[in-house]
A and B are shown apart, each in its own frame.
Chain A
Amino acid sequence: AQKITQTQPGMFVQEKEAVTLDCTYDTSDPSYGLFWYKQPSSGEMIFLIYQGSYDQQNATEGRYSLNFQKARKSANLVISASQLGDSAMYFCAMREGGTSGSRLTFGEGTQLTVNP
């Protein structure tokens, strides 16, 4: 079974509007972390936001917020006030276990296009 599922291969949004990128995960480990990375066409992996399984509040980083619904095992990324520079591939990832040494497992990604 897929550990990370991103059901939207592609998403389009108008500049200045908000967009939600979906991510569901599957784990039986009570301790895990959820991450979102941005990959522009240049190829690098840019960390955006992190949510721990024990965090009580949803994570926020500037225009990025993570809608964490633990019971539904979802960790959707919300980008507010989209900018043209937000056009990129977005990957959801999970690390299981209580140590920082564990591997990241990535989803298939969502290609976001921001239209002017």
Chain B
Amino acid sequence: EPEVTQTPSHQVTQMGQEVILRCVPISNHLYFYWYRQILGQKVEFLVSFYNNEISEKSEIFDDQFSVERPDGSNFTLKIRSTKLEDSAMYFCASTPQGVLNEQYFGPGTRLTVT
């Protein structure tokens, strides 16, 4: 069964450094998402992406965040200057076009900012 993949599984970085989290959505899916989950808290929406542009973003998704689909398969989340509070699990998800389909989640990248 096709699945969403994410790399790396765990990333440790120093405060102020840039990180890029990578995702490969399911190949025939058209909508892509990033969510984050701070340890012990609920999952929060960051951004959705469709047709090579951002379709929706939350108030969390400020200027330090950006997303890109550099080729036909990868979907990346860049954090330009990481802060301690960016430490979280970051999930990528994708969904095909259709009526109210489930969002298929990747296994997540645990980001630790020190």
- Residue ranges of A at the interface with B (Cβ–Cβ < 8 Å): 31-33, 35, 37, 43-47, 50, 52, 91, 93, 95, 98, 100-109
Contacts and interface: CB of A to CB of B under 8 A. Distances in A.
Contacts of B107: 43-44
Given A44-B107, A52-B100, A105 B55 contact: no
Contact of B42 (A31, A44, A47, A108): A108
Interface stretch (B19-27, B69-77, B91-99): B91-99
B58 interface: yes
Contacts, number: 69
Interface string B6-41: 000000000000000000000000010101000001
15 contacts: A44-B108, A46-B105, A95-B100, A98-B100, A100-B97, A100-B98, A101-B31, A102-B48, A103-B56, A104-B35, A104-B43, A105-B45, A106-B42, A106-B44, A108-B41
Interface of B: 31, 33, 35, 41-45, 48, 50, 55-56, 58, 89, 91, 93, 95-105, 107-108, 110
Nearest to A31: B100
A45 B33 CA distance: 14
Given A44-B108, A45-B43, A106-B44, A100 B91 contact: no
A33 B102 CA distance: 9
Contacts of B98: 100
A109 B42 contact: yes
